[in-house]
Amino acid sequence: MALFSRSSSTTTATPETVFDAPTSAVDDVTGDYTIDAAHTRIGFSTRHAMVTTVRGVFKDFVGTASLDTTDAAKSWVKIAIRTNSIDTGSADRDGHLTSPDFFEAEVNPEITFVSTEVERADDTTWLVTGDLTIKGIAKPVTIEFEQTGSARDPFGNLRVGFEGAATINRKEWDLTWNAALETGGVLVSERIKLEFDVSAIRNA
C-alpha cells in the first residue's frame, strides 16, 4: 500500500507560468489610440453541460480610444465587432451561434461597446463603463482593465497594453436559447465571461 501513499513532504506545487516583465516606454499614456486587431484578442468563455469551459473569439473588429491620465473622465472607448466573425473552433457551433437561436447575425451584423464613463482606481487600473449593444439591445457593462505596459515597437509606434474582463448574463441581451439536461441544469450557462487582451497604438 505504501506505493500509493502520498507524503506532503514530497509534494511540490506546479509553478505558475510567468511572462517576461512588462516594459514602460513612457510615464504618461495620455493620447488617442487605435486598437491593433492583429495583436488584440476579444474573447469569451462559457460553461458547456456544466462540466467544461468553451472559449471563443471574435476575429473581425475595430476600436478606438482616448486616454487622459490626469482627468480620466475625459477618456473614452469605442469598439465595433462583426458578429459573424465568431470563432469557437467548431464550424457547426459557430453556425448555431450566428443563427436566430443566438445572435441572428444576418439581422444584427455588429456588436458594439461605447463607453459612458471612465475612472481610474489606481495608477494601473481603469474602470470603463459603457453600453454593450447586442441584437439591438443596449445594456450597461463595467469592465475592469489592468494596464500591462507600454513599449516602442520596431516601427516606432508607441503601444500600450490592457487586459480586462467582465461577466454578463446573456439573457439580458435576448440570447436565451438553451436545452435542459436529464441530470439537471442546462447545456449552456447563462453567465458569460468577456475577455479583452488589448494592444493599442497611439495615433501620430
- pLDDT at position 198: 98
User: Would 145 be classed as within a structural domain?
Assistant: yes
User: Would 5 be classed as within a structural domain?
Assistant: no
Give yes or no for residue 200 having a pLDDT over 70. yes
User: Would 1 be classed as within a structural domain?
Assistant: no
User: Would 20 be classed as within a structural domain?
Assistant: no
**What is the tens place of the pLDDT at every residue in 59-100?**
999 999 999 999 999 999 999 999 999 999 999 989 999 999
- pLDDT at position 20: 75
Confidence of residue 187 (pLDDT cuts 50, 70, 90): low
- pLDDT at position 22: 74
Q: Which of 99, 62, 101, 60 is nearest to 78 (CA)?
A: 62
User: Of all residues in the chain, what percent carry a pLDDT higher than 90?
Assistant: 71
Give yes or no for residue 169 having a pLDDT over 90. yes
User: Would 121 be classed as within a structural domain?
Assistant: yes
Q: How many domains does the chain have?
A: 1
The residue among 179 and 53 whose pLDDT is bigger is 53
- pLDDT at position 16: 66
Query: Angle CA(133)–CA(165)–CA(115) in degrees, nearest 5?
Result: 40
Q: Which of 36-50, 61-75, 117-131 comes out lowest in average pLDDT?
A: 36-50
User: Would 17 be classed as within a structural domain?
Assistant: no
Give yes or no for residue 4 having a pLDDT over 60. no
- CATH code for position 73: 2.40.128.110
The residue among 132 and 16 whose pLDDT is bigger is 132
Q: Which of 22-31, 97-106, 121-130 comes out lowest in average pLDDT?
A: 22-31
Give yes or no for residue 126 having a pLDDT over 70. yes
Which domain covers residue 141, as residue numbers?
28-202
- pLDDT at position 9: 47
Give yes or no for residue 31 having a pLDDT over 50. yes
Count CA atoms within 13 Å of residue 73 on its CB side: 0
User: Would 155 be classed as within a structural domain?
Assistant: yes
